[in-house]
Amino acid sequence: MPPTVIVLAGGLSHERDVSLRSGRRVATALRNEGHQVIESDLNSELLSTIASVPNPVIFPMLHGETGEDGSLREVLTLLDVPFVGTGGASSRIAFDKSIAQPILAHQGFTVPRQIALPHEIFRELGAKALIEAMGEQIGFPMMVKPARSGSALGCTKVTDIDEVPSAMVGAYAYGQVAVVEEYIEGTEVAVAVLDRGDGPQALPAVEIRPDSGVYDYAARYTAGSTRFLVPAELDPEVARRAADVAVAGHEYFNLAQLSRADMIIRDGVPYLLEINVAPGMTETSLVPLALEAAGLDLGKVCSDLVQHARRHSSGRGTPAREKPE
């Protein structure tokens, strides 16, 4: 019996609207491939819905916390319900920038310099002294962002020490820990990694050129406000290097099926910013653009991921230990 796909979207994170748009697009793509699809929000009815469906496979399209922090995936593993994507432990590590970036740096990946500050520490130890120290250690411009959030929510480029307090407040609005990192000037690209059972392979890099100069929430989800170049206008050797970094990150964190690495290319060197375990699938999202550039159909890819998840629903655990070449 073919599986019934339950596409999970919505939830209670700040990225609910983006998640709903991603979920609708994936659900439509799967229906076009002949799948029986149920669209569900994350609510008290979910477990009953799963129990009522014979042979279910979950396709999580939840963004932000709950969807990407590993908690929902741990529950699905506990219930022995197959699902598309990465398991709980690996999702939890990759999602938290204050954890993932130091680990990646230790393993030899090139990442921006970073400081992580919980809200309590920032408040109790005195913001003024900490802000001055951040300026000395990180320098300007710098990026201030929540440790556990996506879609550029709460992210601010700071060019002067007077702008730091409001940027920190903006980051803390989306979580208890803020990261302050070196701003890398260069070419912004995203490299998706796809594994349909034949090993992880990088898709063509997507170059991001927002009209405003900053790839913020509005630039990401307002049609026409950002120019995307696929494949990115990179030297072939640099493009290969970026692809290798994306695949190495995917493998090191033991990610499954689909991920997206965001990076800045400076002087031919890819600086890895973060790795997403549940990349967006909206009309302006990067993964569908990369699939199209690779000559792949979104519905067929989603269908393949469902079938692969059904066959291989275990083994999503702790990060691997290989260093990047």
Residue at 322 is within a domain = no
Mean pLDDT for the stretch of residues 278-302: 95
∠ CA 86-87-90 to the nearest 5 degrees?
85
Kindly tell me the sign of the dihedral angle through the C-alpha atoms of 205, 209, 213, 214.
negative
Sequence letter at residue 1 = M
Q: Which of 165, 182, 199 is the last residue of a domain?
A: 182
Whether residues 249 and 100 share a domain: the answer is yes
CATH number at residue 75: 3.40.50.20
* 264-284 pLDDT per residue, tens: 999 999 999 999 999 999 988
Residue 317 has pLDDT above 60, yes or no: no
* 316 domain-assigned: no
pLDDT number for residue 318? 47
170 vs 172: CA distance, rounded Å: 6
| Strands, E assignment, 3-65 | 4-8, 36-40, 56-60
Task: Give the CATH number for residue 163.
Answer: 3.30.1490.20
Distance between CA 231 and CA 229 in Å, rounded?
A: 6
The tokens describing 309, both together, are: 């998840």
Shared-domain flag, residues 304 and 241:
yes
> What pLDDT band is residue 178 in, cutting at 50, 70 and 90?
very high
Q: In the chain, how many domains are there?
A: 3
Q: Structure tokens of 54?
A: 């014979």
289 and 200 in a common domain: yes
Is residue 1 over pLDDT 80? no
Q: How confident is the model at residue 65 (pLDDT cuts 50, 70, 90)?
A: confident
Residue 239 is assigned to a structural domain of this protein: yes
Examine the domain organization and report whether 126 and 151 are in the same domain. yes
47-56, 64-73, 164-173, 243-252 — which is least confidently predicted? 64-73
Q: Let me know if residue 325 belongs to a domain.
A: no
Q: Which has the closest alpha carbon to 215: 203, 227, 204?
A: 227
Q: Provide the residue range defining the domain that includes 258.
A: 93-109+185-311
Residues in the chain: 325
For residues 117-138, average pLDDT:
87
Q: What is the pLDDT of residue 173?
A: 92
Full DSSP string of 225-274 = SEEEESS-S--HHHHHHHHHHHHHHHHHTT--SEEEEEEEEETTEEEEEE
Closest by Cα among 169, 210, 217 to 64: 217
Per-residue model confidence (pLDDT) at position 217: 64
98 lies in a domain? yes
Tell me: pLDDT of 129 over 70.
yes
Question: Which amino acid belongs to residue 209?
Answer: R
pLDDT band with cut points at 50, 70 and 90 for residue 322: very low
In a domain, 321, yes or no: no
- Whether residue 317 lies inside any domain: the answer is no
Q: For residues 178 and 12, which has the higher predicted lDDT (pLDDT)?
A: 178
pLDDT, tens digit (0-9, with 9 covering 90-100), for 92-105: 999 999 999 999 99
**Contact yes or no for 180/101 (Cβ under 8 A):** no
Q: State whether 190 and 178 are in the same domain.
A: no
pLDDT at residue 325 tops 70: no
Burial grade of 212 (CB within 10 A; 0-12, 13-18, 19 or more): exposed
pTM of structure: 0.91
Quick one: pLDDT at residue 321?
47
| Bridge-based pairing state of the strands 187-194 and 156-158 | unpaired
Average pLDDT in the chain:
90
Q: What percent of the chain has pLDDT over 70?
A: 92
In 3D, which of 259, 169, 156, 161 has the Cα closest to residue 217? 156
Q: Please check whether residue 142 is in contact with residue 182, taking contact to mean a CB–CB distance below 8 angstroms.
A: yes
Say what the pLDDT of residue 324 is. 44
**Is residue 14 domain-shared with residue 30, that is, in the same domain?**
yes
Sign of the alpha-carbon dihedral angle for 249, 253, 254, 256: negative
Give tens-digit pLDDT for 207-262.
999 776 667 666 666 667 789 999 999 999 999 999 999 999 999 999 999 999 99
Which sign, positive or negative, has the C-alpha torsion 8, 10, 16, 22?
positive
